[in-house]
């Protein structure tokens, strides 16, 4: 019966793994489901829903803007190279050139020309302005440079369409002349998706390979290039950390167990945990952030801990029966799993997609690995042929470990150093919440972007004017009122300049009639060869669809209508005083969010600690067992205070690391508690191997080029070292409890 239960559990493990692998395979077949957007670190719930949606829309629109400034020695080469690049980018299927937007915008302006004005206030379209407009139209007709056609002149005698296109100029940019050309457009999908980046970068690199030998150079601007650089950096981090961690763990396992098989078993266990975690995450999330994979490296440390203890129970018990070995390691592994899952689970409470993914991937990964250790790994880890040799080696390790006695003076000196560093850190406490400093932008891309901007490319502003109203018309009216307050130097892309409120449309039309059409049309028609009677007839109504870029700048959330107007040049404007309108700087909002998370992280740590207290009391049912929590809590304190002492400001990620540290620290302490009760020697060796594997995985995050990941690694490294040293406290308490119990 027992055998059947074990087999059934093992079968369930494999079926679960197969299902997870199926999800992973299915999702990857549909396209690389990985995104690199730093906004995934932002909360997905709570706060101002309208502002959140607006930030998302504005960021999406801004991130999609892409431009390349092409330069060559002569005009023909540069023209050919630019045309080729535009064709190559368009061939990706996700890039639409600004030329298309310009055409659609032109149709829209023509259809709405008699209800739009260059002036943001209709009262500023005076009789003098109207006369100037008429003279400009006359000049266009008679000058060599006037872009006039007969069709346009008959339907738009004052050439208002041309004037509006000049003054509103919403999309695209000034086309530099001479030997430079600007290829600009929008990426339809998220620029932060790896597959989108891959296709755009592939097209660009292919074009560059063809044209660079001909002396053509290119300067890039756009989030897609930055995101690609960030993804490359994260991939390099992942490769470095993953490779070093894997090699280190394999060597460590071989050194400890003297078999390649144990190392392979540990690595397979890690792979199983990752596959299960990834499958569960991809089942619930459309994409997984690339940083999740970096954080997932920590699974190597935790999951291999379980393998360490399970495999160590072999030589330690001379490969006793499965039940006996599970009795030995089952309880501490289960406590460790439960506290680790609680620790990771608490990350999900922040409502940040990235951390929800980390929590899910890690939680499911750890739980799956735990199940495989108990129901698959231990049952298949039978007594090997060279068992005597392996047991002798393990005993030797226990002897070596036992011979290591730390003199009291050294221990107290260590404590003094930790206390001193902590006090100094507490005095030097500093924080980094500014997301702009999290991931420094590559200098070459920043320089190229400046080059593109110098050539006249407007790009798209990140900061925007947000106008909110109960009705779409109200939002429009509010944006119009706010724009009237903006200083002249401010440049922004506002929907209402192209599609005003009904009230403003009527006012514009009235100003055009009163100052332009009624007093000047007859004379002007005669001047440009039009039949005055025909010209005076009401214009033929023409309909046009709004350009697609306009749709990106408006939305509705919970019955609230909003408009976004990206600031291309804020010119120091601090925003309007209009009700329902405000300037929004997403970077500032993100930084505020991270500051709030950080401030609440201590509370989350406290909650996790309380949960751990409950779990510990539930499992061990004695107060003395709470000594298990002393090492992890002290380790968390040291790990959070030491980085500022070393000059590294704390981030929210430091606190996230502390949450994870709590789980791992309990793992070490729980095993030491069990060892103290049973007076065994093998646990001390196993915990030491645990700590080394954790440092080889999570600790190596300290090598990351991204500060949040680095700060995570730093906190874990310091904390693991402290947790290892302090884990002897519960062992000593347990030994005393055991002795008292016997007497």
Please report whether residue 142 would count as binding other proteins according to CB under 8 A: yes
Please report whether residue 148 would count as binding other proteins according to CB under 8 A: yes
Helix ranges (H only) for 285-372 are 290-296, 298-316, 322-347, 353-372
Q: Among residues 49 and 139, whose Cβ is nearest to other proteins?
A: 139
Please report whether residue 181 would count as binding other proteins according to CB under 8 A: yes
Please report whether residue 144 would count as binding other proteins according to CB under 8 A: yes
Q: Among residues 170 and 676, whose Cβ is nearest to other proteins?
A: 170
Please report whether residue 147 would count as binding other proteins according to CB under 8 A: yes
Tokens of 663: 């789980």
> Of these, 136, 582, 600, 681, which contacts other proteins (CB under 8 A)?
136
> Of these, 46, 206, 440, 529, which contacts other proteins (CB under 8 A)?
529
Q: How many residues does the chain have?
A: 743
> Of these, 52, 107, 154, 401, which contacts other proteins (CB under 8 A)?
154
Q: Among residues 155 and 259, whose Cβ is nearest to other proteins?
A: 155
Q: Among residues 286 and 531, whose Cβ is nearest to other proteins?
A: 531
Q: Is 256 exposed, middle or buried (0-12, 13-18, 19+ CB in 10 A)?
A: buried
> Of these, 4, 128, 150, 443, which contacts other proteins (CB under 8 A)?
150
Q: Among residues 206 and 456, whose Cβ is nearest to other proteins?
A: 456
Q: 3-state class of 428 per DSSP?
A: coil
Helix H or strand E encompassing 554: strand 554-557
> Of these, 44, 56, 77, 79, which contacts other proteins (CB under 8 A)?
79
Find all residues with CB under 8 Å of 567, minimum gap 6, and list them: 461, 463, 464, 465, 490, 491, 492, 573, 583
From the centroid of its chain, how far is CA 58?
A: 16
Instruction: Using CB under 8 A, count the residues that bind other proteins.
Output: 37
Nearest Cα neighbor of 699 from 343, 310, 414, 298 is 298
- Match 């221990």 to its residue by tokens: 411
Q: How many CA atoms lie within 13 A of 735 on its CB side?
A: 10
Q: Is 177 exposed, middle or buried (0-12, 13-18, 19+ CB in 10 A)?
A: exposed
Q: Among residues 83 and 430, whose Cβ is nearest to other proteins?
A: 83
Q: Among residues 181 and 504, whose Cβ is nearest to other proteins?
A: 181
> Of these, 527, 596, 678, 705, which contacts other proteins (CB under 8 A)?
527
Q: 3-state class of 486 per DSSP?
A: coil
Task: State the nearest-atom distance from the C-beta of 341 to other proteins, in Å.
Answer: 59
> Of these, 6, 176, 185, 547, which contacts other proteins (CB under 8 A)?
176
Task: State the nearest-atom distance from the C-beta of 302 to other proteins, in Å.
Answer: 58
Please report whether residue 128 would count as binding other proteins according to CB under 8 A: no
- CA angle, 310 then 313 then 319, to 5°: 115
Please, which of residues 211-240 interact with other proteins by CB under 8 A?
A: none
> Of these, 18, 25, 126, 143, which contacts other proteins (CB under 8 A)?
143
Strand duo 95-97 + 180-187: pairing = antiparallel
Q: Among residues 133 and 554, whose Cβ is nearest to other proteins?
A: 133
Please report whether residue 615 would count as binding other proteins according to CB under 8 A: no
CA dist 697 and 497 (Å) reads 55
> Of these, 3, 4, 30, 178, which contacts other proteins (CB under 8 A)?
178
Tokens of 184: 């600009």
The CA–CA distances, whole Å, from 211 to 73, 177, 183, 200, 551 equal 12, 19, 15, 16, 36
Please report whether residue 488 would count as binding other proteins according to CB under 8 A: no
Q: 3-state class of 220 per DSSP?
A: strand
Strand duo 34-35 + 288-289: pairing = parallel
Please report whether residue 324 would count as binding other proteins according to CB under 8 A: no
Please report whether residue 146 would count as binding other proteins according to CB under 8 A: yes
Please report whether residue 456 would count as binding other proteins according to CB under 8 A: yes
CA dist 106 and 261 (Å) reads 70
> Of these, 4, 30, 123, 145, which contacts other proteins (CB under 8 A)?
145
Stretch touching other proteins by CB under 8 A, among 177-185, 195-203, 441-449, 540-548: 177-185
Please report whether residue 47 would count as binding other proteins according to CB under 8 A: no
Contact residues: other proteins, CB under 8 A: 75-76, 78-79, 83, 135-136, 138-139, 141-151, 153-154, 166, 169, 173-178, 181, 456, 527-531
């Amino acid at each position: 019966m027992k055998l059947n239960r074990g087999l059934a559990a093992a079968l369930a493990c494999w079926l679960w793994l197969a299902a997870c692998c199926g999800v992973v395979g299915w999702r990857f077949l549909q396209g690389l489901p990985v995104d690199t957007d730093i906004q995934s670190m932002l909360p997905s719930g709570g706060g101002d829903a309208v502002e959140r949606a607006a930030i998302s829309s504005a960021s999406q629109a801004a991130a999609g803007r892409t431009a390349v400034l092409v330069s060559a020695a002569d005009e023909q080469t540069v023209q050919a190279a630019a045309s080729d690049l535009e064709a190559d980018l368009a061939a990706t299927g996700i890039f639409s050139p600004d030329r298309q937007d310009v055409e659609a915008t032109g149709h829209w302006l023509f259809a709405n020309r008699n209800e739009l004005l260059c002036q943001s206030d209709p009262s500023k379209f005076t009789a003098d302005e109207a006369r100037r407009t008429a003279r400009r139209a006359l000049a266009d007709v008679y000058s060599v440079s006037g872009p006039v056609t007969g069709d346009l002149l008959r339907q738009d005698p004052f050439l208002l369409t041309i004037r509006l296109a000049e003054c509103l100029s919403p999309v695209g940019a000034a086309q530099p002349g001479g030997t430079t050309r600007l290829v600009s457009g929008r990426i339809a999908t998220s620029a932060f998706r790896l597959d989108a980046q891959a296709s755009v970068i592939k097209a660009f690199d292919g074009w560059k390979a063809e044209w660079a030998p001909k002396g053509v150079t290119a300067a890039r601007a756009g989030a897609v290039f930055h995101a690609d650089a960030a993804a490359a950096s994260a991939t390099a981090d992942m490769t470095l950390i993953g490779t070093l961690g894997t090699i280190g763990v394999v060597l460590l396992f071989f050194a400890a167990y003297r078999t390649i098989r144990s190392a392979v078993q540990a690595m397979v266990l890690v792979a199983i945990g990752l596959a299960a975690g990834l499958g569960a995450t991809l089942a619930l999330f459309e994409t997984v952030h690339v940083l999740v994979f970096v954080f997932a490296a920590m699974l190597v440390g935790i999951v291999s801990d379980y393998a360490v203890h399970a495999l160590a129970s072999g030589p330690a018990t001379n490969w006793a029966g499965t039940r006996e070995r599970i009795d030995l390691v089952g309880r501490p592994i289960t406590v460790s799993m439960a506290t680790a899952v609680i620790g990771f689970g608490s990350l999900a409470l922040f409502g940040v997609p990235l951390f929800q993914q980390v929590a899910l991937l890690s939680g499911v990964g750890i739980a799956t690995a735990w199940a495989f250790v108990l129901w698959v790994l231990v049952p298949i880890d039978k007594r090997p042929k060279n068992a005597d040799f392996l047991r002798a080696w393990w005993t030797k390790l226990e002897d070596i470990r036992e011979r290591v006695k730390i003199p009291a003076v050294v221990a107290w000196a260590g404590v003094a150093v930790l206390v001193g560093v902590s006090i100094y850190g507490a005095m030097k406490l500093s924080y980094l919440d500014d997301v702009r400093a999290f991931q420094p932008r590559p200098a070459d891309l920043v320089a190229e972007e400046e080059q593109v901007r110098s050539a006249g490319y407007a790009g798209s502003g990140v900061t925007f004017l947000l106008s909110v109203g109960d009705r779409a018309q109200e939002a429009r009216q509010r944006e119009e009122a706010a724009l009237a307050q903006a200083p002249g130097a401010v440049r922004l892309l506002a929907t209402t300049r192209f599609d005003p409120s009904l009230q403003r449309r009527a006012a514009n039309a009235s100003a055009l009639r009163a100052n332009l059409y009624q007093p000047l049309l007859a004379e002007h028609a005669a001047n440009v060869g039009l039949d005055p009677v025909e010209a005076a007839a009401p214009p033929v109504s023409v309909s046009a669809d709004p350009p697609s870029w306009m749709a990106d700048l408006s939305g509705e959330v919970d019955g609230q209508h909003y408009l976004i107007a990206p600031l291309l040049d804020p010119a120091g404007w601090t925003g309007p005083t209009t009700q329902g309108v405000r300037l929004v700087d997403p970077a500032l909002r993100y930084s505020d969010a991270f500051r709030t998370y950080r401030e609440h992280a201590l509370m989350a740590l406290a909650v996790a600690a309380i949960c751990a207290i409950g779990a510990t009391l539930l499992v061990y049912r004695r107060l003395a067992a709470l000594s298990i929590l002393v090492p992890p809590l002290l380790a968390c304190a040291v790990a959070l205070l030491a980085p500022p002492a070393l000059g590294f400001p704390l981030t929210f990620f430091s606190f996230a690391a502390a949450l994870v540290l709590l789980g791992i620290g309990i793992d070490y302490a729980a095993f030491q508690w069990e060892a103290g009760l049973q007076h065994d020697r093998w646990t001390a060796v196993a915990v030491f191997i645990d700590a080394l594997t954790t440092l080889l995985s999570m600790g190596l995050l300290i090598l990351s080029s991204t500060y949040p990941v680095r700060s995570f690694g730093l906190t874990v490294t310091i904390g693991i070292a402290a947790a290892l040293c302090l884990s002897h406290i519960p062992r000593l308490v347990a030994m005393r409890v055991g002795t008292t119990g016997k007497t």
